[in-house]
Amino acid sequence: MKKTTGVIAVIVVLGAGYAGTTWYMGKRIQSEYERVIATANERMKEFAGIGQPASAPSLALTSYDRGFFSSEAVYTITATAEEGKPLEFRLHDHISHGPFPVTALKAGKPAPMLADITSQLVSTPSVQPWFDAVTNKNQPPLHAATYLGFSGTGQSVWTVEPASFSQEGVAVELSGGAFTIDLSNQYQNTDTKGKFGSVVAVDEEAGDTMRVANIEFAGTSEQAEEKSVRTHNRATVESVVIENPDKDTVTLKNLAMQVNGEQKGDLIDATVAYTFGSIQSGAAELGSVSVNGELKRLDIKAFVDLGNTYDAMMVRQGVTSPDDLDLTPEDEAVLREKSLALLKPNPLVTAGPIIWKNSSGQTEAMLALDMVEPKEGDAAAGFDVLLPQIVKKADLNVSVSKSMMVQAFSQTGTDDAEREQLAAMGGMLYDQYVSRLQGLGFVSVQDDTAKLGIVYEKAMFNVNGKTMTPEEFMQRAIMLAM
């Protein structure tokens, strides 16, 4: 009897200890939720700029019911659409507390962890059309399974259910997909990978059908130091096909997008790259196109503040299109001041290289602008006075291959005879324009490639190695236009 009593006492003590441990885990998890939400709101407030408008998004912990072994959390993202309609996205989490969550044990995961969480999107007026569109009515359109480890690591696997809907005469079918988010560094760093099978959109009135196949994406976000974040994001699409019975089929293959960035305080550096591996219209092979860009030292607060100010002016006048906005002299002065604030950190903007390539050659262009803040007292000056001050250096480089352009012209023909005619026309036009540009000193020719190099710095132009005053440069530009 004493032994039985002793065993029962041990079980009671262990049970009470485990219940206390899981209750503590629930308290710690709640603290993590509150910390993450506070951090997210701080980040969104930063991106909303100075004088955050009421339409800025916000995240709130709507409810948190903590129990001994599990908790229920509901959190809501609210924002305002352009037309003023409220948007509300709500997620419900069932949280099974560690160190050995019951749901994890049932799933065959005996390893100790802080929490095992299942999440699902909750129906609100904003997302009800998405609920109506899902193929599997037994599942919400978005749901996830997440585990959080004790060392600030974890993993979240999200599923987007297949759906089909019609809006404004366009029928859309989404295959659904999934993505995984790996967490580290106290849940601050993320490594995301995902894939969606296909998207099909049919405009019945126009007769257009667009098919997008095999969408994949990956990205990382790293908290490098306090107020310093590095991100790397890449997405690829196997093909985009646009069909119409009365038009040539347009096919884009091997599409890719890459966006990398780093934010330190209020300043952002970013690079973007878009690639179209193959472009085909009907039988015409148009080659490949890549578009690149770079931005250094963008003041994100000043940039968003400028956008918010402009939006506030539109709201005040009750217009939805920038074309309908009637700016007063006072409005123009405010926008000028906020635009010039972007120049304080001396941003560098690069458009390019932009490369169009086919089997015969390539055409390439790139423009870099190194900008500075104008002198004090000149902020209200006219554009002709401001421009030489804010552009510290401008560098434009263009190269055009004759054989590449001739092939591009010929590809638009419908038969061999027409393609031959178009090739001859393309070559003739190329020779005419290049000869005129070369005569004015704007291009140099090497082999079958015409090259243009213009550098503007210290109120002087350098064109293909020759120095010109602004007056001389403008005179030649006017002669070219005549």
**In what helix (H) or strand (E) does residue 419 lie, and over which residues does it extend?**
helix 416-439
* Per-domain residue ranges of the chain: 283-482
Q: What whole-number distance in Å separates Cα of residue 243 and Cα of residue 240? A: 10
Residue 328 DSSP SS3: coil
DSSP state of 324: G
Task: Work out the number of other CB atoms within 10 angstroms of the CB of residue 175.
Answer: 20
> Is the distance from CB of 178 to CB of 158 less than 8 angstroms?
yes
Please report the DSSP string for 53-97 in residue order. Answer: -TTS-EEEEEEEEE-SSEEEEEEEEEEE-TTS-EEEEEEEEEEEE
Distance of CA 464 to CAs 213, 220, 445, Å? 45, 42, 11
Q: How far apart are CA 452 and CA 464, in angstroms?
A: 6
Q: Integer distance in angstroms from the first to the last C-alpha of the chain?
A: 112
- Eight-state DSSP code of residue 322: G
- 393 with 370: CB under 8 angstroms? yes
Q: Would you give per-residue pLDDT tens digits along the chain (482 residues)?
A: 444 443 333 333 333 333 444 544 556 777 777 887 787 777 666 655 444 444 567 888 888 888 778 889 998 988 876 666 788 999 999 998 878 777 777 777 777 888 889 999 999 998 899 999 998 889 999 999 999 888 888 999 999 999 998 888 889 999 999 999 999 988 888 999 999 999 999 998 888 999 999 999 999 999 877 678 899 999 999 999 999 988 889 999 999 999 999 988 889 999 999 999 999 998 888 999 999 999 999 998 898 888 888 888 888 888 877 888 888 889 888 988 898 899 999 999 999 899 999 999 999 999 999 999 887 655 566 666 777 788 899 999 999 999 999 998 888 887 888 888 988 998 999 999 899 888 888 889 988 899 999 999 988 999 998 999 988 888 888 887 77
Query: Cβ of 137: how many Cβ atoms within 10 Å?
Result: 9
Cβ atoms within 10 Å, residue 453: 16
Instruction: Count, in order, helices (H) and strands (E) of the chain.
Output: 9, 22
Angle, vertex CA 406, rays to CA 403 and CA 410, nearest 5: 140
* Helical axes 2-48 vs 300-317, angle rounded to 10°: 70
pTM, full prediction? 0.82
Q: What's the half-sphere exposure (Cβ side, CA atoms, 13 Å) at 4?
A: 1
Q: Is 251 helix (H, G, I), strand (E, B) or coil?
A: strand
